[in-house]
Amino acid sequence: MSALDQTEKPLTAGFPAIRTIGVDGFLVSFSDHLDERANRAALAFRAALERESWPGMLECATSLVSAFLRFDLAACDHDSLRAKIEILLASCDWYDASLPEGRRLWRVPVVFGGEHGPQLAEAADLAGQSLNDAIATLCAAPVRVQTIGFAPGQPYLGQLPTNWDIPRQTGLTPLVPEGALVVAIRQLIVFSVATPTGWRHIGQTGLRLFRPESDTPFLLRPGDEVLFHPVEDLDRLRAASHGGAQSEALT
């Protein structure tokens, strides 16, 4: 079984659900937990929102299992927009949607543990694995980019086996560097900027996920898959193009 098959939990009753975010946003959620079909549904529904381009729509995006829509309060009101969303939701079975086109597999080298992953031992302990078993598990199968978020180009990768359902730490680590590999709640993140975080820092990649001056500023896309492998020399990664990562088309 690949790490991508995740149908352990049935879809929760009451979804898809339409909720508001802030005073001018709607969130259409397809599940209350990380779920493969709900993730596909969110990506497909967002694409549909883009196609609809209702008057007053300012921006839309996806998170793990939801699509977000921000609108202009001067041009629409909550009731009429909610009605439009309901009609669009009812127009097909979004959970049947396929993954986006043009997906790629990225093979990404990581320096695990030590000064470049100071919380690897702690995270492995929480997951009930030895250090070496933890690294083997995290590198055993590809994880998918389920969403890009938090910071520019930053992937939420999943889903890890159930023993990696470890909580975030209570305090914030003041700063982890760009390219840091962190873990919590059955997901991995590679940070695109240096940032404080509540996730546990277990390794370091040489990836530059956001290059604002480039023609392609964002390296990864939702649907891409990432297969990590352990290496020792971080300086070589940082000197290499794409941090030593290699990509190939997924068919």
Partner 1 sequence: MTRAVTILNATAGVSVQDKGRPGFLAQGLSRGGVADLLALAEGAALLGQPDACAVLELAGGAVTLTSSHDMRFALTGAEMRAMLDGMPLAWGASHALPEGARLDIAPLRGGFGYLHIGGGLQPPELLNARSAHIAGGIGRTVQAGDVVAVGADKGHRTGMCLPNAPMDSTLRLVTSLQTGLFAQDALDRLETTRFTKDARGNRMGQRLVPDGEGFAVAEGLSILSETIVPGDVQITGDGMPYVLLAECQTTGGYPRVGTVLPCDLPKLLRAGPGTLFHLRFVTLEEGAALERIEAARREGLSRALQPLQRDPRDVPNLLSYQLVSGVTAGDDLEREGA
Q: Which two tokens stand for residue 182?
A: 């962190």
- Assign residue 118 a region (left: φ > 0; alpha: ψ between -120 and 50; beta: otherwise): alpha
42: nearest Cα among 188, 225, 223, 191: 223
Query: Do 20 and 27 form a contact (C-beta atoms < 8 A)?
Result: yes
Residues 4-43 contacting partner 1, CB under 8 A? 19-25, 27, 32-34
* Contact with partner 1 (CB under 8 A) among 102, 128, 177, 217: 217
Query: Do 244 and 236 form a contact (C-beta atoms < 8 A)?
Result: yes
Give the span between the Cα atoms of 8 and 93, in whole angstroms.
20
Q: Which two tokens stand for residue 181?
A: 């590999």
> What is the torsional sign of CA 5, 9, 10, 16?
negative
- Does the footprint of partner 1 cover residue 61 (CB under 8 A)? yes
- The radius of gyration computed from the CA coordinates of the chain, to the nearest angstrom, equals 19
* Contact with partner 1 (CB under 8 A) among 153, 206, 223, 243: 153
- Does the footprint of partner 1 cover residue 70 (CB under 8 A)? yes
- Does the footprint of partner 1 cover residue 71 (CB under 8 A)? no
19/229 with CB nearer partner 1: 19
Minimum CB separation of residue 46 from partner 1 in Å reads: 7
Helix crossing, 78-90 with 36-52: angle to 10°?
120
* Contact with partner 1 (CB under 8 A) among 192, 205, 225, 245: 192
Minimum CB separation of residue 90 from partner 1 in Å reads: 23
Residues 162-191 contacting partner 1, CB under 8 A? 165, 167-172, 185
116/200 with CB nearer partner 1: 200
* Contact with partner 1 (CB under 8 A) among 6, 39, 63, 119: 63
Q: Which stretch binds partner 1 (CB under 8 A): 55-63, 86-94, 109-117, 120-128?
A: 55-63
Q: Using the structure block, give the residue that is written with the tokens 């049947």.
A: 96
Give the span between the Cα atoms of 250 and 22, in whole angstroms.
38
Residues in touch with partner 1 (CB under 8 A): 19-25, 27, 32-34, 46, 58-66, 68, 70, 73-74, 77-78, 147-154, 156, 165, 167-172, 185, 192-193, 195, 198, 210, 212-213, 217-218
